Structure 1
Amino acid sequence: MRVSTERDRCVGSGQCALLSPEVFDQDADGLVTLLSEEPAEELREEIVRAADLCPSRSIRVHG
């Protein structure tokens, strides 16, 4: 699995960082920061949930 983000679309809601803090964080402006492009498979469910709940649809899960 590979994860990508589109920072230019991010609105800073922070749902991703709350749902999957091992993979997502927020910078000083509140925008998404990707901590791991290829996270462990056991994190898939929380990552997919974060992507689904992202109001700006700026998170993509590949594979």
Structure 2
Amino acid sequence: MRIILDRAKCTGIGICEALAPTVFEVDDNGELVVLSAEVPEDARNEVAEAVEGCPTMALRLRS
């Protein structure tokens, strides 16, 4: 499963980072960094919550 980020939609709020900090990080410039494009097996639930919780719908998952 891969994470797809639409940078044009992302505002760097950081909800994804709060829900899945091992996969997402908002850098010092307010830009989202996806630390692992492939979703780690042990983080699937957290990443799914982060994708669903994104208020700008900037994140998607692809099989």
Coarse TM-score class (shorter-chain normalised): 0.7 to 0.9
1:3 aligns with 2:8: no
1:28 aligns with 2:37: no
- CA-based RMSD of the aligned residues comes to 1.1
What's the offset of the Cα at 1:30? 1.6
Gaps of 5+ in 2: none
Look up the match of 1:48. 48
Q: Percent identity, please.
A: 37
- 8 Å CA contact retained: 2:25, 2:35: yes
- Structure 1 runs of 4+ off > 6 angstroms? none
- 8 Å CA contact retained: 1:17, 1:25: yes
Give TM-score scaled by structure 2 length.
0.88
SS of the equivalent of 2:25 reads strand
Gaps of 5+ in 1: none
What's the offset of the Cα at 1:56? 0.5
- 8 Å CA contact retained: 1:4, 1:34: no
